């Protein structure tokens, strides 16, 4: 299948010409599910670049904004860009889809009507399909009666219909990691090729971030374990236990916290047992240690999630550690962990955390 097969219709209403220059603003949504949030964050960083490249647009600049969410039947739009080209100003609506939705044309038409009502600008509607199964969605919706008619078209870009070489031949690291989605069954050789490209172009201080992104995308293809095997063979040191962080961060933090808590609990229990009886002391110590371990596990999980979602300066991270250490209520820590997954910014989380501190 040729690379051009990802486009059913070139574009809806306003086809951009090659080398059209644009500047834009991005309006994002946030999602309550951790894995989906992570995936969409990755796509948010590269989605506009990919779409503009495949549709023949050239980006000169853009900035990300947090605006009021547009909601239709409890669905949030994924991304809306306001772009300016030589032909005028447009809205670029980018929807991320990992499964076939046979009602996609109706959804996209609903979104278009809602966005057009709010912004009153011509709209370019695009679906970026990341799924493993063959793309079977229609990109058209039409009917005609003697009294009314409709002809709606939008663009579907199916990454699994492209070749991995299309992404590996680029210069930007964000393209390299998407090569795994251009294959239904990524092979070990493909993963090695992606890793070689990353090693040859990404500064060592940023390598781990790209490996985390690659790990999330590999989960879409079910080859995250194969990736971990290959990462173990890299000629650089990588903290493997932090791979698959988005999937296992909470469990690992809880495990480590409980381990430390039980250790401390045993120590305190034995100490207390020397005074009032070894048996009772160890029993109470382990009970208290389990409780403290759960608290410490939640604290570590919160820090791990925030570190993966936001760029945190060492001084700020130290302040977060100290503030979390002061929160001793396990229910409050559990609420803070949920907030870490859904907060739109680090300052918003810090404000809520400060309100949770003992007075």
- Distance CA(23)–CA(126), nearest Å, equals 18
- Give the pLDDT mean for 222-239: 81
Residue 38 sits in the same domain as residue 126: yes
Residue 41 sits in the same domain as residue 131: yes
> What is the rounded (10 degree) CA torsion for 36, 41, 46, 52?
80
pLDDT range class, residue 196, cuts 50, 70, 90: very high
pLDDT range class, residue 282, cuts 50, 70, 90: low
Instruction: State yes or no: pLDDT of 22 exceeds 50.
Output: no
**Of 242, 262, 281, which residue constitutes the final position of a domain?**
242
**Structural domain of 336:** 247-356
Residue 237 sits in the same domain as residue 348: no
- Distance CA(9)–CA(85), nearest Å, equals 20
The mean-pLDDT minimum among 23-32, 57-66, 139-148 falls in: 23-32
Residue 197 confidence (pLDDT): 94
Higher-scoring residue by pLDDT: 323, 66: 323
Residue 63 sits in the same domain as residue 98: yes
Instruction: State yes or no: pLDDT of 78 exceeds 80.
Output: no
Residue 332 sits in the same domain as residue 257: yes
**Of 242, 273, 300, which residue constitutes the final position of a domain?**
242
Q: Coil, helix or strand for 155?
A: strand
Altogether, the residues listed in the chain come to a count of 359
Residue 236 sits in the same domain as residue 278: no
As to burial, measured by CB atoms within 10 angstroms (0-12 exposed, 13-18 middle, 19+ buried), residue 20 is: middle
pLDDT in tens, 204-218: 888 888 888 898 889
Residue 302 sits in the same domain as residue 352: yes
Q: How many domains does the chain have?
A: 3
pLDDT in tens, 302-343: 888 888 788 888 888 888 999 999 998 888 888 898 888 888
User: Closest Cα partner for 214 from 262, 261, 164?
Assistant: 164
Residue 154 sits in the same domain as residue 19: yes
Residue 210 sits in the same domain as residue 106: no
**Of 186, 208, 242, which residue constitutes the final position of a domain?**
242
- Give the pLDDT mean for 125-140: 94
Residue 149 confidence (pLDDT): 97
Residue 69 confidence (pLDDT): 41
Residue 19 sits in the same domain as residue 69: yes
List phi, psi (to 5°) of 246: -65, -25
- Distance CA(82)–CA(93), nearest Å, equals 9
Residue 199 sits in the same domain as residue 312: no
Residue 281 sits in the same domain as residue 308: yes
pLDDT range class, residue 67, cuts 50, 70, 90: very low
Q: Where are the beta strands (DSSP E) in the chain?
A: 20-28, 57-65, 71-72, 75-76, 79-85, 88-97, 123-129, 140-144, 149-153, 155-158
Residue 38 confidence (pLDDT): 63
Residue 19 confidence (pLDDT): 35
- Give the pLDDT mean for 290-301: 80
């Amino acid at each position: 299948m040729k690379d051009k097969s990802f486009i059913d219709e070139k574009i809806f209403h306003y086809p951009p010409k090659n080398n059209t220059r644009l500047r834009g603003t991005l309006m994002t949504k946030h999602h309550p599910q951790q894995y989906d949030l992570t995936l969409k964050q990755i796509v948010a960083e590269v989605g506009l670049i990919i779409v503009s490249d495949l549709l023949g647009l050239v980006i000169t600049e853009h900035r990300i904004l947090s605006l009021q969410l547009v909601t239709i039947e409890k669905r949030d739009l994924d991304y809306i860009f306001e772009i300016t080209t030589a032909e005028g100003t447009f809205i670029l609506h980018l929807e991320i889809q990992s499964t076939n939705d046979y009602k996609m044309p109706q959804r996209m038409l609903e979104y278009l009507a809602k966005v057009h009502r709010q912004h009153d600008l011509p709209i370019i509607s695009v679906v970026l399909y990341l799924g493993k199964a063959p793309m079977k969605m229609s990109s058209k919706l039409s009917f005609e009666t003697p009294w009314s008619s409709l002809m709606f078209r939008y663009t579907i870009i199916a990454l699994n219909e492209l070749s991995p070489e299309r992404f590996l031949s680029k210069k930007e690291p964000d393209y390299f990691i998407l090569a795994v989605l251009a294959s239904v069954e990524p092979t070990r050789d493909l993963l090695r090729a992606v890793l070689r490209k990353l090693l040859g172009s990404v500064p060592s201080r940023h390598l781990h971030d790209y490996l985390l992104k690659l790990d999330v995308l590999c989960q879409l293809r079910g080859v995250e374990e194969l990736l971990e095997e290959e990462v173990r063979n890299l000629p650089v040191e990588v903290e493997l236990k932090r791979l698959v962080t988005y999937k296992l961060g909470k469990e690992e933090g809880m495990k480590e916290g409980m381990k430390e808590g039980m250790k401390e609990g045993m120590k305190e229990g034995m100490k207390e047992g020397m005074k009032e009886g070894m048996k009772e002391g160890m029993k109470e110590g382990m009970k208290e240690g389990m409780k403290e371990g759960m608290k410490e596990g939640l604290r570590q999980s919160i820090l791990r999630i925030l570190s993966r979602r936001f760029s945190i300066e060492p001084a700020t991270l130290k302040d977060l550690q100290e503030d979390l250490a002061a929160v001793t209520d396990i229910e409050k820590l559990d609420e803070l962990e949920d907030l870490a997954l859904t907060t739109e910014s680090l300052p918003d989380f810090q404000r809520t955390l400060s309100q949770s501190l003992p007075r």
